[in-house]
Structure 1
């Protein structure tokens, strides 16, 4: 029987993971799937569009659509922004996580589902923490450890050692190589790059595989459906969505309970 995984091992794995989540979150935040922000910037000159009416329509759309960088986003409160991450971005990560479910029970015997699921949940927890002003690595490590693994990591341990920061930065850079290459080649982050980076983030958690089984997961009927080949992907998707909402509830409780120091981060 393997030795229990220590808090120190969890921290050693999570610190590079959290650092790598930052550029991924930035990429998702800056994504402009409808082209509204770019079109609004161009709308500064009506002649470019032919008439002022079209310009007003573009700016009106920009005002009403709730995505980062819009007036509607600025008017949202913290919980609404956190909900956006869970409900909008969470759908994408749940789809990517559920793809192994096409293999049914065979895929469920492998750690792929839990690694991708834990990576997705950890990524979105970092994004949610950012909306609450919790930006330091140590605090986010504690949040993920508590919500996903039911561990109460001390602030001192989660803060890591200054001597390790260079190695953590290098590890984070390797995890986000596909994002960097996508931006260089296409001027933006592609869905393929997001999927590849999510996979790398998941692989980085293999060092604590036993812990990944503790994360919030779907109900028994989601898992039962997930055992069926092909349609198992649908069961896994629904299970991941349900688990993510549980994770968000736990995260909200944790952030509120620790607001006395989180607000100082």
Structure 2
């Protein structure tokens, strides 16, 4: 498979991932993020008190756009995506292994695992100021496919990205969409950081396979994130690829 085929598929994946990350970082449909900056007043109603309680709960998770998020540095924000969002998506990646070796023979787990790692790697790059799409594609090609394609290889699709939902399943839907566009490069999927050998063996055992697969995939995701951050530091130094907006777009206070 040539580089251009891989780059084209990864570019379509990034086109899906970026809008979803924007939604998570910037949307505040019920105003809970804004409330994390609010001080209670004597005129508060019972509804205000309830909403403030919900806002405090959200703030305790350090969710992007909250007051707590603004206190995090780039390293902590990067780790948030690995530990919080990556962990959630990994449940979907690991679930097929509950059925044992039969499902493990299908490409579904590698597709979802690759998509999950791609989403987290792009989020980590953005938190470190890298917002250039060709840079994202080159990073994914290097870390997940072992291909050094250069920052000028990608030919981004200029068509507008579709609107994205902001509900609790937005990430899972996006991961499935990314997995769908990656079917064209199925031969590249096994090149991503994968579970250690012992976890792959245990994942073939019915019932306990899901737990083993989850632990293994979490470890693989952490290694992928570290490699992605290493790629950013080693390869993306030009101002044309690094922007201060990369962090600020995800650390806004109330508008």
Q: Tell me if TM exceeds 0.5.
A: yes
Distance in 2 of aligned mates of 1:16 and 1:55: 38
Whether 1:198 and 2:175 are equivalent positions in the alignment is: yes
2:100 pairs with 1:99 = no
Per-residue deviation at 1:47? Answer: 2.2
CA–CA distance in structure 1, aligned partners of residues 4 and 55 of structure 2? 50
The structure richer in helix per residue is 1
Q: Determine which structure has greater relative contact order: mean sequence separation of CA pairs < 8 Å that are 6+ residues apart, divided by chain length.
A: 2
Question: Is 1:105–1:228's contact at 8 Å kept on the other side of the alignment?
Answer: yes
Alignment correspondent of 1:189: 167
Q: 1:236 to 1:208 in 2, by over 3 A?
A: same
- Where do residues 76-115 of structure 1 align in structure 2 (5 Å cutoff)? 76-115=72-111
Give ranges in structure 1 of 5+ residues lacking alignment. Answer: none
Are 1:225 and 2:221 an aligned pair? no
Q: Deviations over 1:90-135 (max 9, x none)?
A: 1101111111112211111110000000000001111111111111
Task: Tell me the matched-pair count.
Answer: 241
Structure-1 residue corresponding to 2:45 = 49
Q: Is the 8 A contact 2:32 2:51 kept in 1?
A: no
Match of 1:75 in 2: 71
SS across alignment from 1:204: helix
Q: Match for residue 252 of structure 2?
A: none
SS of aligned partner of 2:82: helix
Alpha-carbon distance between aligned partners in 2 of 1:54 and 1:190, rounded to the nearest angstrom: 20
C-alpha distance 52-234 of structure 1, shift in aligned 2 (>3 A): closer
Tell me the TM-score normalized by structure 1.
0.79
Contact 1:99–1:233 under 8 Å retained in 2: yes
Counterpart residue number, 2:250: none
Q: Which runs of 5+ in 2 are unaligned?
A: 245-255
